[in-house]
Amino acid sequence: MTGVTGVIGLYIFMLAAFAGWIIIGRVPAILHTPLMSGSNFVHGIVVIGGIFVLLSAATPAEQSIGFVAVLLGAGNAAGGFAVTDRMLAMFKTSDAPVKKHRKSRKA
């Protein structure tokens, strides 16, 4: 198994951060909630990557980085699902019956 050196890992991180900044920065404000709800799988990938780092961690620094990655990724995923649930709740119909008003007829 080929290990990723620190310089290559930093390069990959910088490319991912720049690409994310460019992509998210060009999304209109009205689409941020649907975008977050549609991209919860990305947070799952971060959690899987953090768990992988934790499993292969040899130093306390690597363990700390892996723990922070898992913690932040899980928080993002949970927050994304909570926002999605609230967003979908806005489209549900209420259980209360709707009163219909009739116009009074004058003879």
Band of residue 67 on the pLDDT scale cut at 50, 70, 90 = confident
CB contact set of 36 (below 8 Å; sequence gap of 6+): 80, 83, 84
Instruction: Tell me how many domains the chain contains.
Output: 1
**pTM for the whole structure:** 0.52
Q: 11 in a domain, yes or no?
A: no
Q: 64 in a domain, yes or no?
A: yes
Residues 24-40 have pLDDT tens digits of 778 776 776 666 666 67
CB contact set of 83 (below 8 Å; sequence gap of 6+): 33, 36, 37
Q: 56 in a domain, yes or no?
A: yes
Please compute the mean of the pLDDT values over residues 86-91 and round it to a whole number.
76
Q: Domain limits at 60?
A: 42-90
State both tokens at 81. 């699902």
Q: 19 in a domain, yes or no?
A: no
- Say if residue 77's pLDDT is above 70: yes
